[in-house]
Amino acid sequence: MKVLLAGGGSSHEREVSLKSTVAMERALQELGYDYRRVDLGNELDVTQEWDASYDIVLLGFHGRAGEDGLLQAILEANKIPFTGAGVADSLLAFSKDASKRQFKKNGIPTAEWELLLHETGQELPKTTLQLPYVIKPDNEGSTIGLSVCQKPEDLIEARRVSGAFSRLIFEQFIPGRELTVGVLGDQVFPIVEIFPGHELYDYESKYTKGMSNYECPAKLDDGLARHIQDLAVKAMQSAGVQVYGRVDFRLDPENKPWCLEINTLPGMTETSLLPMGAAAKDLSFPQLIDQILKLSLKKYI
């Protein structure tokens, strides 16, 4: 199998993408794959790098332009095989509003929310939700633009952070523990618990070395852990997400899990959350990449 490994891109998560593709490249080297790695400024330029000698594109992009379904649509239109979720599932999972609608329809608990349109630079729109709540863009990854509003004064900072985006989700704040579950094919990985440096697992907590701590498997009783893992699989199925993904949850003080979102192209450095869960199931990082490639290619056979 010859692999075109593509990363970089134009989203807010470009630097994270480059770290993922460097880690993926080491995995491909260890696996003995024939490959070429490209750093692109525009995700859609993958089509310019592709030729008939390749078997598949290994997507290392993160964030809007690589994860929202547009790139996947271009690749499908050009009959180029690629890893992970397809067009419709990428589009649906990347919109927090659309995915939460699917969760609700399929009986997956998710916090109450409103999607509100916003003119950037203006006052934040009014929500019917009561404080505390979280404000975040409907279609960005890595908690870009996220604000936690516990009291009215927090809306001043929220206008600066979240107000830069035009489609905003106002979501009831769920206190409790931060959990995430990786899914690969028919495998569900052990749950990772995140102990963030801030109240929520925001961008700084994710990518500042030493700011957050992690435990995998999370300390949960067996029945609760299985329930959360089952919800993760159900969430993936509700959005039709193929091959692999990572599902994020909050666990409230009454031990009720609330599904937040699905990540269809989650971080893929050797210390990222999906590989962390895989490692707890005795699946090394190169083995994880190998399985993603093989399961993805099956879609085209």
Q: Which of 68, 89, 202, 261 is catalytic?
A: 261
207 an active-site residue? yes
Can you give the pLDDT at residue 121? Answer: 81
| Identical topology for domains 92-109+175-284 and 113-172 | no
Q: Which of 220, 289, 280 is nearest to 249 (CA)?
A: 220
pLDDT for residue 34 is more than 70: yes
Q: Considering 267, 270, 272, 290, which one is annotated as catalytic?
A: 267
Which is catalytic among the residues 162, 263, 272, 296? 263
Indicate whether 164 pLDDT > 60.
yes
Residues 16 and 157: their CA atoms lie apart, in Å, by 25
What is the per-residue pLDDT for 127? 97
The reported pLDDT for the residue numbered 297 is 97
Class of domain 92-109+175-284 as given by CATH: alpha beta
Which of these, 288, 291, 265, lies nearest to 65 by C-alpha position?
265
Active-site residue identified among 154, 176, 207, 240? 207
Domain boundaries, the chain: 2-84, 92-109+175-284, 113-172
Judge whether 215 counts as a catalytic residue.
no
Q: CATH homologous superfamily of domain 113-172?
A: ATP-grasp fold, A domain (3.30.1490.20)
Query: Is 142 an annotated catalytic residue?
Result: yes
Is 95 catalytic? The answer is no
Of 17, 142, 147, 205, which is the active-site residue?
142
The residue annotated as part of the active site, out of 8, 10, 11, 13, is: 13
- What pLDDT, on the 0 to 100 scale, is given for residue 140? 83
pLDDT (0 to 100) of residue 56: 98
Indicate whether 85 pLDDT > 80: yes
- What's the pTM value of the predicted model, to 2 decimals? 0.93
pLDDT value at residue 99: 97
User: Quick check: 200 pLDDT over 90?
Assistant: no
> 120 pLDDT band (50/70/90 cuts)?
confident
Tell me which fold the domain 2-84 belongs to. Answer: Rossmann fold (3.40.50)
Report pLDDT for 244.
98
